[in-house]
Amino acid sequence: MPTESPTGKAVRSKRADAQRNQQTVLTAAAEVFVASGVDAPIRQIAARAGVGMATIYRHFPTRADLVTAVYHHQIEACAEAGPNLLDSSDSPFDALRQWIDLFVDFLVTKHGLADALQSDSDRFAALHTYFIDRLLPVSAQLLDAAVEAGEIRPGIQPYELMRGIGNLCVGRDDDPRYDPRRLIGLLLQGLRQPQSP
C-alpha cells in the first residue's frame, strides 16, 4: 500500500477544511436569508458562520454566486433527507410528513432566493430545472412507499403534490393570519387512505 507524503496529507486536509468552511457558510447564509432576506449584509453571514468576509468572497465572488449556491445546497439537503427519513421514521406516511415540513422550509427560503435571481434568467431556469429533477423522484419515492403501506390513496402525482404545496406557501408573505402549514396539514389528511369501520 503506498504511503502518503506529508504534502499530500496537507493538501487533502486543506481541501477538507475549505469544504467544511463552504458548507458552514452556506448553512449560515440560508439562516440569515430566512431571517433578514437575501440582501442581508455579507458581514452578517460571515459572523453567523464564524469566518472572515474574505473566506466568503473567495468561495462566492458575487452575491448571485452565493444565492445560487445556497439554493443548490438546500435542494441537495432536501433530496438527501427523503431516503433517510424513510429509513428512520415509524411509517412511510410519517416520513412523507416530515419531508414535506423540510420542503416547506426550503420553499419559504426559495421564494426570496428566486426573487434575487430573476434578473439572471438563465441561471434561474437552470436551478429550477435542477430543483424539479432532484426533488420530483424523492417525492415519488415517498408517495409510493406510503401507498404501498396502505397509508395514502393511490394516484397522487408527485408534481401535483409539490406544486400544490408550493402554491399554498406563496400566499404566506407577511400576513400573520395565514398559516400555510395548517392548510398543508389538511392536505395531508386528505391524502390518507380511509380506514374501514
Each residue's pLDDT tens digit, 59-100: 899 888 898 898 888 899 999 999 999 999 999 999 999 999
The residue range of the domain holding 56 is 1-61
Identify whether residues 71 and 166 lie together within a single domain: yes
Q: What percent of the chain clears pLDDT 90, i.e. is strictly above it?
A: 49
The pLDDT assigned to 9 comes to 58
Is the pLDDT confidence value at 17 over 70? yes
Q: What are phi and psi of 51, to 5 degrees?
A: -130, 170
Cα 119 from Cα 125, distance rounded (Å): 11
- Looking at the structure, tell me whether residues 28 and 120 fall in a common domain: no
Q: Are 52 and 43 in contact (CB under 8 A)?
A: no
- Using 50, 70 and 90 to split pLDDT, how confident is the model at 3? very low
Q: Do 41 and 135 share a domain, yes or no? A: no
As a whole number of angstroms, the distance between CA 146 and CA 100 comes to 13
pLDDT digits (tens, 9 = 90+) for 87-141: 999 999 999 999 999 998 888 766 666 666 666 667 777 888 898 999 999 999 9
pLDDT of residue 13: 60
Are 2 and 40 part of one and the same domain?
Answer: yes
The CATH number given to whatever domain includes residue 127 is 1.10.357.10
Q: Give me the chain's average pLDDT, please.
A: 84
In this structure, are 163 and 146 located in the same domain?
A: yes
Residues 36 and 113 in one domain: no
Query: Can you give the pLDDT at residue 118?
Result: 61
Among 105, 121, 100, 96, CA closest to 70: 105
> Domain boundary residue among 61, 93, 111?
61
Average of pLDDT values for 34-61?
90
Q: How many domains does the chain have?
A: 2
DSSP 192: B
Q: Assign residue 45 the CATH number of its domain.
A: 1.10.10.60
Does 54 share its domain with 69? no
Confidence (pLDDT) at 7: 53
Q: What is the mean pLDDT of the segment spanning 176-190? A: 89
**Cα(148)–Cα(88) distance, integer angstroms:** 17
Sign of CA dihedral 92, 94, 95, 100: positive
pLDDT of amino acid 16? 75
